[in-house]
Structure 1
Amino acid sequence: MSNQSLSKDSLNTLSSLDAGGKTFHYYSLPKAANTLGDLNRLPFSLKVLMENLLRNEDGTTVERSHIDAMVQWMKDRHSETEIQFRPARVLMQDFTGVPGVVDLAAMREAVKAAGKDPAMINPLSPVDLVIDHSVMVDRFGDASSFKDNVAIEMERNQERYEFLRWGQQAFDNFRVVPPGTGICHQVNLEYLGKTVWHKDQDGKTIAYPDTLVGTDSHTTMINGLGILGWGVGGIEAEAAMLGQPVSMLIPEVVGFKITGKLREGITATDLVLTVTEMLRKKGVVGKFVEFYGDGLKDMPVADRATIANMAPEYGATCGFFPVDEQTIKYMRLTGREDEQLELVKAYAKAQGLWREPGHEPVYTDTLELDMGEVEASLAGPKRPQDRVALKNMKASFELLMETEEGGAEEGREANLESEGGQTAVGVDDSYKHHASQPLEMNGEKSRLDPGAVVIAAITSCTNTSNPSVMMAAGLIAQKAVQKGLKTKPWVKTSLAPGSKVVTDYLKVGGFQDDLDQLGFNLVGYGCTTCIGNSGPLPEAVEKAIDDGNLTVASVLSGNRNFEGRVHPLVKTNWLASPPLVVAYALAGNVRVDLFKDSLGKDKDGNPVYLKDLWPSQQEIADAVEKVKTDMFRKEYAEVFDGDATWKSIKVPESKVYEWSDKSTYIQHPPFFEGMGEEPDAIEDIKDANILALLGDSVTTDHISPAGSFKPDTPAGKYLQAHGVEPKDFNSYGSRRGNHEVMMRGTFANVRIRNEMLDDVEGGFTKFVPTGEQMAIYDAAMKYQEQGTPLVVIAGKEYGTGSSRDWAAKGTRLLGVKAVVAESYERIHRSNLIGMGVMPLQFPEGTDRKSLKLTGEETISIEGLSGDIKPGQTLKMTVKYKDGSTETCDLKSRIDTANEAVYYRHGGILHYVVREMLRTA
């Protein structure tokens, strides 16, 4: 049953349709058009938002003026109107889900402390949490890898999983998909997503578009199924599940026209890397991207989902594909019931949400791609938008090495970024690199050279959901084995599909044995190498890298390759299709030119080239035909049950969680300590010290890394002091339920560069009162002891990357009152506000360089103590070491009225708790 009654429906749009033998009511866009005028050319994604407004019109959070603003958008192609979006559901993964459930448990504690029933804290929207980010590649390359890794995962994460099992029984409207099942986005695409949702409300069955927000930025993958959804911070997702609408400006929508067909030998991965490069160049941050054009007619949903998945990489809020026959075909293949398919088709056609040939909506701006022009590509060495054509790959790495050795960091960036990531060809192959290192593995002697591929991982939601590229990888493996090729001994190989269906069809295709022979044994079903869970390299390989200070490579079929993310010792990371991952595992080095150089020798001693192994489109199509509906139905029949180990986890049946002081995974967070019924008055920031002075493109991985950490870090020292040995540290991501670890991990990425220090990498700063260099956490605690407020200063694109709530939570707990940057990534900006941290933006032409900041200045910010309004101008005063001062205006990046309310309350969760207590 719904928690709200039917819409006010001022436009009288409530209608009915019959589908699958049932009658459904819905809020009709064509009926609204009778009053508002033609809505047919409104972008499909905005039609979904329009329906959301019609269905939720209540005269307060959604008014008629909001609906009228959507119509006006068609004339202006942009809008400054703020609307309230209510998604149908929320999706979580465990890295972000655990702290989300910790917060819910802490909110129950706060409600109990206020003398009210803690059970009032419950998700009001359906929530699915998929445990997919905790498996690590500890074991690889043999038949027991999967079993061993799952056993290690269950042992390593016992406390977290006990906690999630408690949440599963303690909260209503909350389902958990156990570990060893799949990646949340692939489970969402293959099973959870409905395209059209329905619920019983006031005696009627209301049908409406399936929409969602998720606590992972790649939630956008579901856009490939005609479902509008995107990633939000865990904080915003918690508010959405507790009934708070998602506040947003009506977005600009960029239309991306797709024409033509992919050429022989070109994959969906090559297509998405090209799309990502084009859209990054175009500039779509904070905008919707919607794909249209007759090239969509034959584009399967798996390819659409691959493109939609990488919306965060091209910077868009979402990458939406409208519903059409391909949608129905995919839903049928993946085992959705016939009644659901009938509803999807009938509803989409009735609402004008069905893509018709030649239809071109009105867009803010457009760009176009003929798929026939796409070429084989990778992306790297550290950003997903820096595409490199496969034919230029060797030269790209050579140039990278040359400029790194010469210390020309800026020149390297310029060269690698020219032509959108294409690099100059023709660098002298005889260029002398760092000396290679001797290597002995399994009794076999060899050498490890610069450019060595030490990790080759078929992993991540982006590509493992796509049968065409997975079957292509299987075909290459099969042909390689037939010719007697082997992967190089220093390559750590792994196969981590996004769902169990993948291994079913690889087996049916006859490819799993060949992949196993090359070392691509199943290591787990989850997000592994792409999230930093690549596990340790063999000791001999790590020693060789360290001894020679070698620049080595990973090649992975993922979507993220930021510095320090995949593995601390691997400086260059390249995104590639699964078949290219296999090819590079055979080649063993990114300096092998796959167009010209052989991958090895066959049984007769003849050279084997990539062209000898690469499958034809027909071979791939024949293999994909073996993917059957029964596979999906079998694997998803008991998707919430889990294995015997999961089922055996015992948890107390209590409304309030029983916190344990001894736990190093789950701790009661301090966010609600001392919270009064009314928020404290906000004060101006006076004489703050700068905690970190950062450059451009600082990601949430830099701010709050997810991967492993060393014993000498603040987090490592904390765990050792609590009896945890380094081998049991696990990762930052798995420790997100413990604020003590996460505070210490904030700004602790091994590759972050604080410009307050000269040529120092890692989470360090200068403690200004003494001039001493120390860990950022240690400095922040010293400042807190002195009662000194802190700010962070940064460049462009601050907070790009994953929708990582701890990047904001950790910032707050370190005592940072404000971040001042040149521009922000959408989710991180929202998360900062959600934790009561003010995001401020330099005006055009002013930045840390023009102000000649060294980090030793003090910063004062005026204008916070008044009435906080969206977009207001504040004044910053910089006081230099010599006593001189300079002032400049800053723009508040509190963009909406709701955000202003959340900030005044010290954060979104504080607001929700106070509202619940007020109305209880």
Structure 2
Amino acid sequence: MAKYSNINSFNALKSLKVGQDDYQIFSLKTAQDRLGDLSKLPKSLKVLLENLLRFEDEKTVKKEDIEALVAWQKTKKSDHEIQYRPARVLMQDFTGVPAVVDLAAMRAAVKQAGSDPEQINPLSKVDLVIDHSVMVDFFGTDKAFEENVDIEMQRNGERYQFLRWGQSAFNSFSVVPPGTGICHQVNLEYLAQAVWLGESDGQKFAFPDTLVGTDSHTTMINGLGVLGWGVGGIEAEAAMLGQPISMLIPEVIGFKLTGKLREGITATDLVLTITQMLRKKGVVGKFVEFYGDGLADLPLADRATIANMAPEYGATCGFFPIDDVTLGYLRLTGRNDDRIALVEAYCKEQGLWRNAGDEPVFTDTLSLDMGTVEASVAGPKRPQDRVVLQDIPSTFRSLMELDLKPAKVEQERLISEGGAGAAIDAKQSALQNDDPHCVIDGKRYPLVHGDVVISAITSCTNTSNPSVMLAAGLLAKKAVEKGLQRKPWVKSSLAPGSKVVTDYLNASGLMPYLDQLGYNLVGYGCTTCIGNSGPLPKPIEDAIQCYDLNVASVLSGNRNFEGRVHPLVKTNWLASPPLVIAFGLVGSIRNDITKEPLGVDQNGQDIYLKDIWPTQAEIDEVLQKVNTDMFHKEYAAVFDGDESWQAIQIPQSKTYEWDEKSTYIRHPPFFEGIDKPAKPIQDIENARILAVLGDSVTTDHISPAGNIKKDSPAGRYLQEQGVDQKDFNSYGSRRGNHEVMMRGTFANIRIKNEMLGGEEGGNTIYVPSGEKMAIYDAAMKYQQDATPLVVVAGKEYGTGSSRDWAAKGTNLLGVKAVIAESFERIHRSNLVGMGVLPLQFVDGQTRQTLRLTGQEQLSIHGLSDDIEPHATLDIEVKRADGSTESFKVLCRIDTLNEVEYFKAGGILHYVLRNLIAA
């Protein structure tokens, strides 16, 4: 039970009557009598202000913290630190399993220290949705869903048993079973309430629904007016255990939306445009708040689509205020009438309601007339790199540096000009002696650079939006009626974000047409977008490898980083669901589908995209099929699961019974010696460089989620444990086993270590001997010699998913510091949370200007228990020739709380030490 403020310095506590019910609220309207006018404060900051008023305790939240947030209106920025407590935590299973493993390990440590293990319990509501494990092993048949679910349960039985144990062992912890939907869509359609309820001292309190999640795209819920963003699993665990989230009062960028989308333009086109604009603006670490009268006609599903991609445009969140559109969505999705009435009354009382003409004060603003948005995709390697639809072929040609002749796909042949066409002599020879091709069902097809081998309707961004999903169904219907078919080399899939999607596709009569084109239901989960695209058909994989082809995927996702979608697919394009199908029909991204035909009909007539693109009137007509009964039906028993889930047997113990033979769930070493005093912070002497990395190194590069290679350190480990390669599963599914995950750190096949001249793959040079070896193997040799390690990188280090193993694995390899030009917000926090120093180059210096090759030894000076946030540290460089020089770096331990966490060895270590000492 939460304990709300009994200090109430600003006399904010009052009663709000809604219908027959009375609620206690911390009133912003009342507080402004003492605080001053709040009318121009961004609504996202009003949510933070209410949170501070409610938790004022003179320790974590002081009177001056509240005053600083109000004073923000004058300066529009602040370096004041506040302590924020979200109402709840959302998890998915890839990040949730290691979080529950940590909680289980903490219970074991508390028990070993002689204390009550049940002290380790979530103090706020936690929902974990199993959505990241289903893979597209089977596709293109009516049985694909059933077969994928069966193999998912076989692969993940041990993980699921562990999660079921967690659900029974921990309080306030619920699990949504596999085969239900994507966590963000389940959150949007069911879990979120817009206004949350709590009890304190026997009274009922109403306050804004807020959350943090262990997935970057937690931000999707901002479309519903719920303030939420992604944090690392480490930080989420601390929040569960009662630790406030330490943050600086953020800058807030206002994004004004006006006008309406033109005919034929989708919400996906809109979000890709906004993502590009905000990336160019520079909003990393900032809130973005959308405003403007264009919101009145922007459906909530479109708002959620835009909010979802906040990580891609770099913001902490993309917030939409609550208004009539919000209430309409709450009504449609079957929320309780009393709650809807409370949402309206509360938000209007608190100044959180969006009114026409609202113009809050912002740090900075930008605007978009939605009528100017063009049909777009993003790619080939970053979600912020928007490409106008007709420019995809030229973009690809520039990428390939090949002069591809325009011709029919069936007539095209690769023109090899050396270099880009083949990587090694054997492959060059194959290219010269035979045209690139594949053989499918006994028939030979050309397969060349730019061919689409994956076409996937996937991910929370778009599958939560009925408009674009129904547009895909309508396009499929028209394509089938015209006699078009998906190209045989294209692996196609449909993975909705909830069962409601298949309900309305069936109700509208569109599902059979999707099936006929091969977009059969493959599962309810992230699938291709998270890297669970599954294997390509063997003839396709063989051809790609034989001819060293740069083939493409087109997915309705939000992430297209290198090596993420499929290890053999180098260029990946984000697109709306109907465009995903269009590219599946044409089978190539070399074609300008705005001008060139997709195929021919039964009479041999060319069929163009415009011939099968649905009109807005057609979409609006089938949208009427989406109704509240569908949401009531699918969410009535959302936590129950199917027979396979219910049949899982679990131990009834409060501490987990670790199995030393398990290759999925292992007792991690993070809390060994936790009952002993923390070691003092000391300078790092004569550290070796484990890797020198470039710009935009993502958490996928640092800790991949996809396939485990047979000859990788993780693959060798699994084989030593008796696991066959066919049962490797993925890195994401093995996150409960630190032995796999530390071996997988920096193991992405696309990561480029400049110590090896930019060669791809997770290798390095073990400097003492000059040997080339896997990064894990080198790290273990350094550990044997007690040699500390550092990683050197460029800009935007750690972008992408909020992947705690990117920090945990770094820690276990013995890396003491990461030195980069800039850090992504969540990963920087995760590094501190695992006791790894994030250090930032200053004064325009970089690894290049300092001539850091990886052969140097680095000593980091200025570290002690007295370290302060944003301290300046000195690094001494000892080069291979014996010469020395030094440079300064900024220590990115940003807050006083983080100093305490770092001194304790990490944020969870801090919580544990305090519990044991109590």
Q: CA deviation at 1:603?
A: 1.1
Q: CA deviation at 1:866?
A: 4.4
For the residues of structure 2 that align with 1:759 and 1:881, how far apart are their CA atoms?
20
Q: CA deviation at 1:90?
A: 0.2
For the residues of structure 2 that align with 1:84 and 1:367, how far apart are their CA atoms?
29
For the residues of structure 2 that align with 1:520 and 1:791, how far apart are their CA atoms?
46
- 1:79 alignment partner in structure 2: 78
Structure 1: give runs of 5+ residues left out of the alignment. 406-428
| CA deviations over 1:72-130 (Å, ceiling 9, x no partner) | 10000001100000000000000000000000000000000001111111000110000
Q: CA deviation at 1:449?
A: 1.6
- 2:415 alignment partner in structure 1: 432
- 1:414 alignment partner in structure 2: none
- 2:640 alignment partner in structure 1: 641
- Secondary structure in 2 matching 1:481: helix
1:575 aligned onto 2:574: yes
Q: CA deviation at 1:432?
A: 3.0
Summarize the Cα distance change of 1:829–1:35 in structure 2 as closer, same or farther, 3 Å threshold.
same
Summarize the Cα distance change of 1:403–1:481 in structure 2 as closer, same or farther, 3 Å threshold.
closer
- 1:452 alignment partner in structure 2: 451
- 1:420 alignment partner in structure 2: none
- 2:154 alignment partner in structure 1: 155
For the residues of structure 1 that align with 2:278 and 2:414, how far apart are their CA atoms?
35
1:761-910 matches, cutoff 5 A: 761-910=760-909
For the residues of structure 2 that align with 1:94 and 1:515, how far apart are their CA atoms?
29
Comparing 602-611 with 432-441, greater Cα deviation is found at 432-441
Q: CA deviation at 1:596?
A: 1.2
| CA deviations over 1:713-735 (Å, ceiling 9, x no partner) | 00000000001001110000000
For the residues of structure 1 that align with 2:819 and 2:853, how far apart are their CA atoms?
15
For the residues of structure 2 that align with 1:709 and 1:380, how far apart are their CA atoms?
25
- Secondary structure in 2 matching 1:222: helix
- Secondary structure in 2 matching 1:663: coil
- What is the identity, as a one-letter code, of the residue corresponding to 1:191? Y
- Secondary structure in 1 matching 2:394: helix
For the residues of structure 1 that align with 2:749 and 2:777, how far apart are their CA atoms?
16
Q: CA deviation at 1:20?
A: 4.0
Asked whether the equivalents of residues 534 and 567 of structure 1 are also in contact (C-alpha less than 8 Å), the reply is yes
- What is the identity, as a one-letter code, of the residue corresponding to 1:250? I
- 1:383 alignment partner in structure 2: 382
- 1:750 alignment partner in structure 2: 749
Q: CA deviation at 1:30?
A: 0.8
1:654-673 matches, cutoff 5 A: 654-673=653-672
- Secondary structure in 1 matching 2:488: coil
Superposition TM-score, scaled by structure 2 size: 0.97
- 1:166 alignment partner in structure 2: 165
- 1:29 alignment partner in structure 2: 28
1:113-132 matches, cutoff 5 A: 113-132=112-131
Asked whether the equivalents of residues 693 and 792 of structure 2 are also in contact (C-alpha less than 8 Å), the reply is yes
Q: CA deviation at 1:146?
A: 0.3
- 1:184 alignment partner in structure 2: 183
Asked whether the equivalents of residues 796 and 821 of structure 1 are also in contact (C-alpha less than 8 Å), the reply is yes
Q: CA deviation at 1:916?
A: 1.2
For the residues of structure 2 that align with 1:623 and 1:775, how far apart are their CA atoms?
54
| CA deviations over 1:185-227 (Å, ceiling 9, x no partner) | 0000000000000112112110000000000000000000000
1:340 aligned onto 2:339: yes
- 1:676 alignment partner in structure 2: 675
- What is the identity, as a one-letter code, of the residue corresponding to 2:415? K
Q: CA deviation at 1:437?
A: 1.4
Q: CA deviation at 1:438?
A: 2.1
Asked whether the equivalents of residues 6 and 202 of structure 1 are also in contact (C-alpha less than 8 Å), the reply is no
1:70-469 matches, cutoff 5 A: 70-402=69-401, 432-433=415-416, 434=421, 436-469=435-468
Asked whether the equivalents of residues 20 and 338 of structure 1 are also in contact (C-alpha less than 8 Å), the reply is no
For the residues of structure 1 that align with 2:570 and 2:194, how far apart are their CA atoms?
41
Identity of aligned residues (%): 68
For the residues of structure 1 that align with 2:499 and 2:885, how far apart are their CA atoms?
60
| CA deviations over 1:867-917 (Å, ceiling 9, x no partner) | 121001110001101111111111110000000000000000000011111
- What is the identity, as a one-letter code, of the residue corresponding to 2:709? K
- 1:615 alignment partner in structure 2: 614
- 2:555 alignment partner in structure 1: 556
For the residues of structure 2 that align with 1:572 and 1:831, how far apart are their CA atoms?
29
1:45 aligned onto 2:44: yes
Summarize the Cα distance change of 1:404–1:230 in structure 2 as closer, same or farther, 3 Å threshold.
farther
- 1:729 alignment partner in structure 2: 728
- What is the identity, as a one-letter code, of the residue corresponding to 1:87? P
Q: CA deviation at 1:759?
A: 4.2
Asked whether the equivalents of residues 413 and 448 of structure 2 are also in contact (C-alpha less than 8 Å), the reply is no
- 1:10 alignment partner in structure 2: 9
For the residues of structure 2 that align with 1:430 and 1:847, how far apart are their CA atoms?
43
Q: CA deviation at 1:296?
A: 0.2
- 1:426 alignment partner in structure 2: none
- Secondary structure in 1 matching 2:294: helix
For the residues of structure 2 that align with 1:557 and 1:471, how far apart are their CA atoms?
13
Q: CA deviation at 1:760?
A: 1.6
For the residues of structure 2 that align with 1:648 and 1:357, how far apart are their CA atoms?
53
Asked whether the equivalents of residues 413 and 436 of structure 2 are also in contact (C-alpha less than 8 Å), the reply is no
Asked whether the equivalents of residues 4 and 54 of structure 2 are also in contact (C-alpha less than 8 Å), the reply is no
Asked whether the equivalents of residues 674 and 913 of structure 2 are also in contact (C-alpha less than 8 Å), the reply is no
| CA deviations over 1:328-378 (Å, ceiling 9, x no partner) | 000000000100100000000000000000010000000000001100000
| CA deviations over 1:778-816 (Å, ceiling 9, x no partner) | 000000001100000010000000000000000000000
- What is the identity, as a one-letter code, of the residue corresponding to 2:629? D
Q: CA deviation at 1:430?
A: 10
| CA deviations over 1:485-510 (Å, ceiling 9, x no partner) | 10000000000000000000000111
- 2:696 alignment partner in structure 1: 697
Asked whether the equivalents of residues 6 and 201 of structure 1 are also in contact (C-alpha less than 8 Å), the reply is no
- Secondary structure in 1 matching 2:8: coil
- What is the identity, as a one-letter code, of the residue corresponding to 1:670? P
Summarize the Cα distance change of 1:870–1:578 in structure 2 as closer, same or farther, 3 Å threshold.
same
CA RMSD after TM alignment: 1.1
- Secondary structure in 2 matching 1:17: strand
Q: CA deviation at 1:431?
A: 8.9
- Secondary structure in 2 matching 1:524: coil
Q: CA deviation at 1:678?
A: 2.4
- What is the identity, as a one-letter code, of the residue corresponding to 2:667? H
- 1:412 alignment partner in structure 2: none
For the residues of structure 1 that align with 2:147 and 2:636, how far apart are their CA atoms?
25
Comparing 323-332 with 597-606, greater Cα deviation is found at 597-606
Superposition TM-score, scaled by structure 1 size: 0.96
For the residues of structure 1 that align with 2:141 and 2:343, how far apart are their CA atoms?
44
- 2:424 alignment partner in structure 1: none
For the residues of structure 2 that align with 1:180 and 1:81, how far apart are their CA atoms?
44
- Secondary structure in 1 matching 2:74: helix
